[in-house]
Chain A
């Protein structure tokens, strides 16, 4: 056989186009260095448990018992597991049709979807229909499913914020659609300006693209900003006027580090706006067990909730879900536990609250430490991390550095991040992986390293950065506007 059956030449073009920097060049280089024995601090992905955050105790107890139901018959089980975990395990097992090892309903266990609906109702003050909630193997699978439903071809455009989490750009590439960027305003705290939206849509339409949907990530990734209620109203009005389905990626809704703009769901604002908008605007909202203070990335638990999607379209989405048979059952139980955690009076309540608060308060402190740390560095400007798990400092690379990058055949922020990695072991993701304005460079790091290690990490970064700037700056001073 002279030529391979599947080689680069005859590979699906959409796969070639797809990029996902979060586990791209920097990460691969970091992994190589790690194999060679270098100590690497992986801040490339929002993966809290990998950086020492402990799992919450209660959910692990419940899922372990569901995993091994014969424990429930053992007279000594109470020596190792508290009574409320035992009761909750029995509750979830009863909701399954054969324990963790049976495929569930393709949309997820009905009882868990009901718990999700109840959570949404408590959070927003409006009832939610469990039939319109589909559990998925992580929110990413849900996003892919919905985009696959929408995108018919290259002339279908999806409005995506820039900078964005590259799941969106990667998926749009894989599905053969068009990404229509709308720029967030770094100088206005990564604010969303409707003027930018209108411009983006107009430009897309002039190129023959039908804009079908708009993605908002709230709180933002990589940018962390929390949208205000006014902003959400503007977005919803915009979607109403332009026939766009709004895709609300709200996976960081528990990660809020300031009090001026608490999390408010797109659905709540939509319902508050009343008819006709509340009955017309189509919305799909995404959530996960991977973020928040849970950080259970490895479980792959998520859901999407559909609002104002016609029944026949819901059926088709269900049909596609059924091909995958069912989302993983343990992940579904994690989701149930997340939306209905221990209550006051439960045996495990105090410990649960202590663990949760501990994590959130520490994240808030780390968000501040990192922002301040970056802002103390030469040629680095960093917006405060209002939410989510990342810091996205702007690195003002001097012209000589940009030239050096070109010489090395690297995009400037990739060049910088590789040097940072080699000098300090800090593995970040270059801003080019998320999208940014032309000529403006960033990197994304997480705020997840342990609090005790933060000062040393920031010192290490500052030392590298300031020396880098020293090396590449004209001594006339950095002249970029």
Chain B
């Protein structure tokens, strides 16, 4: 019986073996091991702490949550205290008011009850109004599906779209590996389109056309196009003109446009602005009948950085009623997303306004976080560009830098001799030498023969000089060792 266990590496779903997710992959396992060693013996390594620059997890690196949001959430978690006068001494008046307003939208004020499977109606109304205020085009609360973060919504769409290996999903290369992993788990085929590093990670329609032809010739039916804007790991903000071309392309080729817009509030350059794909499509005169578009948003990024809450939504437009029913059905199997996350999503899309009691402190917190991100992005980018053989596009948005390292042949050979992908070899040595955790570019996809790593801009400002100096020192040493 022992050798015939039902669940073993040999008998589990092979799609699981196939999928990969480098953001929390090998390098992180190694980092955790080193962390353990440091705890047991602080002198065991040439550094005294692990610096996790592998994941967009701002609050784990000291970023503070937005006070107003947390006040409202705390009151919604424990509405019983709203009846106590002492509560007014602990919370701002407008957070109490907002909590009442939200609780009134929840039957029985029961924040512990399963809600409607798309999320609480009143909160969807708020989010729709927020989308309309952002874009200048109406949004329908019935188009909104609140989910435990944006990731489950992405999985849902892959589940609907992928029938077999012959169904392809267009993904940018480099991409956030949720997409490659999700496509693998659902048994589909990833159809790559390469972003152009030389032009700031630009997206060329000719590249899309080319890849589409190639896919078709292999018998792949391409079903959808994923665009991440601002980009992850690449950080570029698409030019509006580019966005129009993408919308036109999807419309003409009959592709569902999957717009990952979770970094919409992370824009660091004055010459770029976020334009939602919905806004772009609508301003082109394209409506429900013209283009099928799913837009994803999350509470994990922006200036709020509430990763642990698992809040997010997808706005689904341009689908038939039958498909809408099916999406609802799939959402209903899980009953609903966590209520606190739903409330947070509504706060993110409808934050304090000028004149509200909490506005000034809210704005000061937001501004401090965003200005600091701009600064950190610039400092790290500059430092990376100063390294031998390293070039780094600017982080126009999102939370990452994705420098390219021109690894000398000797280094590549050394990597191959230990059966390691060259950028993973570089990243592992970096970790062992400095305690800095980055994700090798191979985890995101890159033009073959090029090497990158993704590093977040999230460590607190006072850590940045140390990171820069340790990284620089390591890199010099590496190049000295392996220079051709």
C-alpha spacing A141/B17, complex, angstroms? 19
- A316 x B75 contact (CB < 8 A): no
Q: Does B340 sit at the interface, judged by CB under 8 A?
A: yes
**Which residue, B4, B74, B111, B320, has most C-beta atoms of chain A within 10 A?**
B74
C-alpha spacing A61/B81, complex, angstroms? 9
Q: Does B218 sit at the interface, judged by CB under 8 A?
A: no
- B21 x A103 contact (CB < 8 A): no
- B332 x A23 contact (CB < 8 A): yes
- A80 x B308 contact (CB < 8 A): no
One of B23, B77, B84 near A63 (C-beta < 8 A): B77
C-alpha spacing A79/B88, complex, angstroms? 11
Q: Does A285 sit at the interface, judged by CB under 8 A?
A: no
Residues of A within 8 A of B67 (CB): 68, 70
Which of the candidate stretches B144-152, B382-390, B394-402, B416-424 sits at the interface with the other chain?
B144-152
C-alpha spacing A409/B152, complex, angstroms? 36
C-alpha spacing A11/B339, complex, angstroms? 30
Residue of B nearest to A69 (CB): B70
CB-CB under 8 A for A299 and B112, given A64-B74, A71-B90, A104-B308: yes
**Which residue, A49, A103, A137, A174, has most C-beta atoms of chain B within 10 A?**
A103
Which of the candidate stretches A145-153, A190-198, A260-268 sits at the interface with the other chain?
A145-153
| Chain B nearest CB, measured from A160 CB (Å) | 15
- B320 x A4 contact (CB < 8 A): yes
Q: Does B448 sit at the interface, judged by CB under 8 A?
A: no
CB-CB under 8 A for A102 and B113, given A150-B7, A323-B19: no
Number of residue pairs A-B, CB distance < 8 angstroms = 309
Q: Does A60 sit at the interface, judged by CB under 8 A?
A: yes
CB-CB under 8 A for A138 and B306, given A149-B16, A297-B113: no
Number of A interface residues at 8 Å Cβ cutoff, please give it.
Answer: 103
CB-CB under 8 A for A102 and B307, given A12-B160, A55-B112, A320-B185: yes
CB-CB under 8 A for A328 and B57, given A20-B332, A297-B112: no
C-alpha spacing A137/B274, complex, angstroms? 31
Residues of B within 8 A of A48 (CB): 113
- B113 x A213 contact (CB < 8 A): no
One of B74, B90, B308 near A76 (C-beta < 8 A): B90
Residue of B nearest to A145 (CB): B16
| Chain A nearest CB, measured from B206 CB (Å) | 22
Residues of B within 8 A of A79 (CB): 84, 86, 89
- B90 x A310 contact (CB < 8 A): no
Residues of A within 8 A of B11 (CB): 152, 212
Q: Does A457 sit at the interface, judged by CB under 8 A?
A: no
Q: Does A170 sit at the interface, judged by CB under 8 A?
A: yes
Q: Does B233 sit at the interface, judged by CB under 8 A?
A: no
| Chain A nearest CB, measured from B331 CB (Å) | 9
C-alpha spacing A423/B77, complex, angstroms? 37
One of A8, A16, A282 near B7 (C-beta < 8 A): A282
One of A11, A312, A317, A327 near B326 (C-beta < 8 A): A11
Q: Does A376 sit at the interface, judged by CB under 8 A?
A: no
Interface members, chain A 107-139 (any B CB < 8 Å)? 137-138
Q: Does A470 sit at the interface, judged by CB under 8 A?
A: no
C-alpha spacing A50/B161, complex, angstroms? 34
Residue of B nearest to A149 (CB): B12
Q: Does B73 sit at the interface, judged by CB under 8 A?
A: yes
- B19 x A97 contact (CB < 8 A): no
Q: Does A330 sit at the interface, judged by CB under 8 A?
A: yes
- A327 x B333 contact (CB < 8 A): no
Could you pull out 30 A-B pairs where Cβ atoms are within 8 angstroms?
A: A1-B251, A4-B319, A5-B254, A6-B161, A6-B256, A15-B330, A18-B330, A18-B333, A24-B329, A47-B113, A55-B111, A68-B70, A71-B74, A99-B65, A101-B59, A101-B307, A102-B58, A137-B148, A137-B337, A140-B335, A148-B16, A151-B13, A244-B6, A298-B115, A299-B112, A310-B7, A322-B25, A323-B178, A324-B152, A325-B24
The 5 closest A-B pairs by CB, nearest first: A329-B308, A298-B339, A64-B78, A102-B60, A50-B113
Given A6-B319, A101-B65, A298-B339, 13 extra CB contacts under 8 A: A8-B326, A45-B114, A47-B114, A76-B89, A138-B335, A149-B12, A174-B159, A298-B110, A300-B338, A319-B25, A320-B185, A323-B21, A324-B152
